Amino acid sequence: MSLQDSLMDAMKVAMKSKDTTALTALRSIKSAILLIQTQSGSNIEISQSDEIKLLQKLVKQRNDSAEIYLKQNRPDLAATEIDEVKIISQFLPEMLSESDVENFVIQAIDSLGANSMKDMGKVMAYLNQELSGKSDSKTISTLVKKHLMS
């Protein structure tokens, strides 16, 4: 089932249950998909990797907003953002644990023959492609730096 089909099913459920938070989050996903489709100039389906990147971007935006709200002592607004993150995350594939990502990083460094920070770009490009949708770039970057500096 495509993202758009599962999104429409989830929207129907949210409308019937009158879950406004879920409906807001689901409509933001639908809006972002429509925006991408109109930017490309046609109504073609977007690829699964683009869908994952889009969902990760939406999650990151909400996490950043929640962090700002908490710094400004607005836990009520932060809670709404965190609830939306949970709803959007349901459409993302399962993320790898940090130890699994670290194993990928070690294997990539060994297979690419990386031995200094000069090789970080090469390692990051490889890992971002391999772990697309399974881990965020920030975690990957932190682990690559850790292993290239040691």
Ordered by start, the domain boundaries in the chain are 3-89, 98-149
pLDDT greater than 80 at residue 133: no
Average pLDDT for residues 105-134, to the nearest whole number?
86
For residue 73, give both structure tokens.
Answer: 């002592």
69-114 pLDDT per residue, tens: 999 999 999 999 999 999 999 998 888 888 888 898 989 888 888 8
Pair 71, 81: CB distance under 8 Å? no
Please state which of the four CATH numbers 3.30.1220.10, 3.30.70.100, 3.40.50.2300, 1.10.10.410 is assigned to the domain occupying 98-149.
1.10.10.410
Q: What is the identity of the amino acid at 108?
A: A
Which residues lie closer than 8 Å to 69 by C-beta, 6 or more apart? 75, 77, 78, 81
Examine domains 3-89 and 98-149 and report if their fold is the same: no
15-40 pLDDT per residue, tens: 999 999 999 999 999 999 888 888 86
52-63 pLDDT per residue, tens: 888 989 999 999
Residue that is written with structure tokens 């009520």 in the block = 76
Quick one: pLDDT at residue 81?
A: 95
- Taken in order 20, 22, 26, 28, is the CA torsion positive or negative? positive
CATH number 1.10.1510.10 is the correct assignment for the domain at 3-89: yes
